[in-house]
Amino acid sequence: MLSIRDACPEDAVAACEVMRRSIVELCAADHSDDPEILARWLSNKTPENVCAWIARQDATMLVAIKTDAIVGVGMVTDAGEVLLNYVSPDVRFSGVSRALLKALEARARTRGAILCWLESTETARRFYRSNGYVETGAATGKFGARSGYRMTKSLL
pTM of the model: 0.92
**pLDDT for 41:** 87
Task: Give me the CATH code for the 2-154 domain, please.
Answer: 3.40.630.30
Identify the residue with better confidence: 145 or 95.
95
**pLDDT for 72:** 98
Per-domain residue ranges of the chain: 2-154
For the sheet with 2-6, list strands across it.
2-6, 59-66, 69-77, 82-87
Residue 156 has pLDDT above 60, yes or no: yes
Report CA Rg, the chain: 14
Distance between CA atoms of residues 128 and 101, nearest Å: 9
Residue 113 has pLDDT above 90, yes or no: yes
For residue range 11-64, list pLDDT tens digits in order. 999 999 999 999 999 988 888 888 888 898 899 999 999 999 999 999 999 999
- Does residue 15 contact residue 50 with C-beta atoms inside 8 Å? yes
**pLDDT for 29:** 81
Residue of 48, 27, 147, 39 lying closest to 97 (CA atoms)? 27
**pLDDT for 149:** 87
Residue of 122, 121, 101, 104 lying closest to 113 (CA atoms)? 104
**pLDDT for 141:** 61
Identify the residue with better confidence: 146 or 110.
110
For residue range 50-109, list pLDDT tens digits in order. 999 999 999 999 999 999 999 999 999 999 999 999 999 999 989 999 999 999 999 999
